[in-house]
Structure 1
Amino acid sequence: MMAWTVPGYTESRELGAGASGRVVLARHDATGMSVAVKYLSEQLRADEVFVHGFRSEARLLGALNTPYVVELYEYVEAPQGAAIVMELVDGIALRALLAREGSTGPEAALVVLKGSLLGLAAAHRAGVVHRDYKPENVLVAADGSSKLVDFGIATGHDSRPGVAGTPAYMAPEQWSGAPATPAADVYAATATFFECLTGRKPFAGDNFAELALQHLKAPVPDEQAPESLRPLIRRGLAKTPHARPENAAAFVSELESVATAAYGSDWEERGRGRLAALAALLPLLFPSSGGIAQGTTAFATTALVQPQAPRPRRLPFGVSAGAGALVLATLFAVAAQVGTEGTEGDRPTARASAVTNTGPSTTPSDPSTDPTPEPTTTTASPSLSASAETPATTKAPATIPSVAPDGSASDDAATTPGTGPSATSPTATTPPATRSTRASPTPTTTLTTQPVSVRAVSVTSLRQTGSRTGEATVRITTDGTGPITLLTSWSTSDQSGAPGAPDGSQTIRRQGATEYTLTVTHAFRGGDCYWGVNATTDPPAASGGSFQQVFIRRCEIA
């Protein structure tokens, strides 16, 4: 059986593939322009919560229109598959440069930092915090310029969807689950800057606890960097957010002042030349060479009006288009805040919110309307000039998947789920294909006892609330308002990824809605360092159950 392809494009070759899907180099038939097309795997496309998360992430990027962030042209969803069409960046991942060279030199490192800060600044102005900036998410082009390619676990300012990120680049406050702020992105960008300068990460550890302690307590190792650049290192890697620049734009001003004083007014030109020279040493990694692309973004969804052709930066055909990119990066769950001590006798409680989504209906969008953030979520419709969104009435928390044993980014991670796009636009390419859907602006709640199927169940967060107490948030999506049962099974373990010893369970019954967000608390009795919760439903969810773990704080600081 032939794999589904996006109508209007001719594929040239595959650039990469993984559990999440595949990325191909393609040509737009009408214009001949080369693009990257990313196809979501059938397994992930069947998970409604996951797909909704893609759409929410896409809307989050709607206000970004900058040469420092990769641009998306088109999202297509049909019965046979789902894909995004995006700008083809003929470049290689910064990680590949560092792997070959160890370091880039100071001027090149400053150029990388400035380009990334400018991309992050555009996100911060739009109310978006990246939360997972790292060398893998920066592409260096042949001319030495760079682009950000991953906003996969981005979130709104001061939101708290759970602990997420890549451990080596996570700010101290991220380890404790504090609200996301632009200062965390400044920290991650500075950690990458340090790696470009020295060839090593600022902090290292043999396990999560050791690495967490280094980020939380160890002095900033600025003595390893050139003396003239140490003030930037100390500022960007400060332990508390208020001691760092408040956002990326503020840090750019400091960077330019320090760089000019240390290396002269032409530092940027020399730094870009150095990056171009380093990239030229790895010609087979460029997509244009026929090799396998590295460091490109993973799969995303978006909502936009029908484009006639892709274009670099701005479509030449006068039709709005928009998109958001996200990588299926592994979210890293660790201990949250420690509150008052619980006891074995504490009774678990559950708080729930429910809403019925009346379902989508296709509605054309006005191509002249600029995108606006959706007020009830942390996302905004992605757009070069995208269609306007009608605010949805539901708000969902983030989803945190099980962490890989090494805490590194993985191709098998989850996203930040939402409730589905609040607005989309139809496409005329082929009748079965859908560019978007519009949810009803007036959902209602209807009680019923009809049989119901559970589409998805997801543990969206798990955090430590006391020395012995934890709290989990579970999101359930159904196809009707009939009764369902949630079973949460708690466990403790001495290793990541394993459920370990049973530590109790709870049963919660609900009906009358199609979406439920349940908050369940538990007093743990086991003494291991990993607390876990597994959520299942009756009737069983199409996606099975959902398991989440957290590394408790007493083990981090032991």
Structure 2
Amino acid sequence: MEAPRAPVPDQPAPTGRNRAVDEPYSVELRCSPDGPGLVVAARAQARLDGHPGVVSIHSAHLDSDGRGSVQLGWAGSTLTGLIARRGASCGGLAGADVAQIGVEVASVLADAHGMRPPLVHGAIDHTVIRLDRWGKTRLDAFGAGCHGHLTATPPDDVNALLCMLHRLLRTDQHESDGKVRQFLSRATAATAGGALGARELAQALSTLSWQGHGFLPPGSSAVSSTGTEAGAADRVNGHSTCLTAEDRTAILGDELQPTPGCELPKGFVPLRRLARGGHGDVWLARDHLLARDVVVKQYRNNDALERELRALGHLDGHRASVERYLFAHGSAPAPPAIVLGWCEGGALASDHPWSPTELAHLGAQVADALGVLHGRGLVHGDIKPQNLLADRWGAVRLADFSVTGADGARGSPECSPRHAPPEQLDGGALTPAADLAALAATLYHLGEGYPPLERGDGTEALVARRLSGVKPALPQSMASLPGLSTWVMAQLSPDPCDRPNGGAAVAAATLRALVRPTPCHLNDNDAPAHPTGHGQVDLRARLATKRFAWPTLPRSGTALTALGSLVASLLLASVLVSRAWAGPSPAPPELSDPQTRAGLRAAMALPPPDPLSESRPTDASLSAAPSGSAVLRVTGRFEGRPWLVRRDDFAVTEGLVDDRPFAFGVVGPKGSIAGPTHSALIRSNQASLRLPPGERSDGAAVTSCVRVIGIDLPDDPSPALCWSR
């Protein structure tokens, strides 16, 4: 039985609406009497779940009679519709537009072909290219090219893309389009021999789009070398990536039954609890019908639910926001829930210092999403590293809109006191300026390894300093990009009237200008080194190393970066020139030597450990007493040298240990959290340390974990040792 190709009309009518909020939440619904065939095609596209260049699959449903339906995110018109609206007089698209479309589609294909097993589209043409509400290209209809015994390969996709780009070019001869046409002809010839893969094509088209001239002269290595997709073609050639009828029965046959005793929406199986808070529980769950992991966020508070739905509706499809797939109204015993895309990279962490250019890219992307919210009269209200999530495609996603409120409304007391501005901590009205100040505090935290005004003496002392108007020290991590440092310090001004007032859109443009050269400045060596095609910050290298190590940036030259920094600095200086600063900020506690400073910073920057870890390091041991205290002993590589201890305390609720600590830091001589001060340094003649039990004001049980850091080995801490009170 053939899997029918789902029709993609010129302008599909959006169906569905989020009735809980004012903003319509448009979706696209596809139905078929061949339910298994439709769902199998959707499952193929769901392998690229969360990709910014792919139409998102929200949910799938199979009836007992074999009929099926698939709900997709509303992705706008197809290229067919765009060309038709331009009219016959235009005769197609300009060369620059064709090159940009090629970059974005080739980038998607490169990621799809790089999967194991490779995912091949098999039906590339202008009817499967969509233009979403944000003006971005999205590829649709993966799995629609399955036709029984026929087998498509990655080179087939590349060749089909090149043929489509040829057809999209304007028919009349424009001088500016000649080089694009010439490049496409040479690339087609190279593809015929299997030498040009999707990744190389994306690189070449990216350079063509930026520079306006051909990237592949005769003999170019990008044409003559073998691409990664060529090897992928060998692995799938002769073996269809589509599923047979027997495969469908085996995969889908037993997935219509509800999960007994499960409180999640029907069709989702819980894997583990990610968080538990006042608004409800957050679960990592498995959507078996689409064979993917998702996040199910349950709500006990209807106000928080409505706030989240309203914000997600406004940001529907935005590449800097978490993806909303499904809203389940809930029926006993399951509470109402939202099904979201799973960002497997987790929250951004400061365990490895972020470079200034990385922070500028990150800030611009988040500011773009904030600009959308602010334009709809909403304020996020809780910008912090924990609410910025990294997905597997290298994008940063803004999350957790449960405290989002209207511009001018009273701020929520649930915001992060370590990042919120003084007016929000003081109970004042929410404003867009508060979001930008919190964003600046977040960038400061990621760059320095600790939030502004953090001295290691607790949150209450930090809040007191912020409310009293103390200004943070200049971020040393941003010294090489003074424009970024200037923007961050301006946004961290205690008085909102002293901050730049251009809004999120101006903030995004300012931050982006610091690191992105303009095409008129490019030369032959300025090709973007890592094109993603989607204007995204690419975090995949950091995800691969678990330390979020960034890829290199375009080779734009230090002169251009310095020029961008100077321009941004002058713009911000013009806002601040008439304002008197209260003087230099109090410096952090002075440390005696660089080695001690490095050890303290490394200890404070460690990410939270796994509180369920049962590691048994050879160079440290822990003995727990019935009273809840413990004794830590160091041996091996830590003997005879100064050392530090990083401690994390986790709450235990109903037998479940939270995966985020409620308190953490470097411990002092008495074993309690003391912060990054000299008193935390344990001398070389001390081989043990008594640790008191963890305590919470509500009397809840506590699980504590400690790690040992040698002063001369700051990048090699011991595994975590955990015990419970």
Higher helix share: 2
* TM-score (norm: length of structure 1): 0.44
* TM-score (norm: length of structure 2): 0.35
Q: Report the structure number with the largest CA radius of gyration.
A: 2
Higher strand share: 1
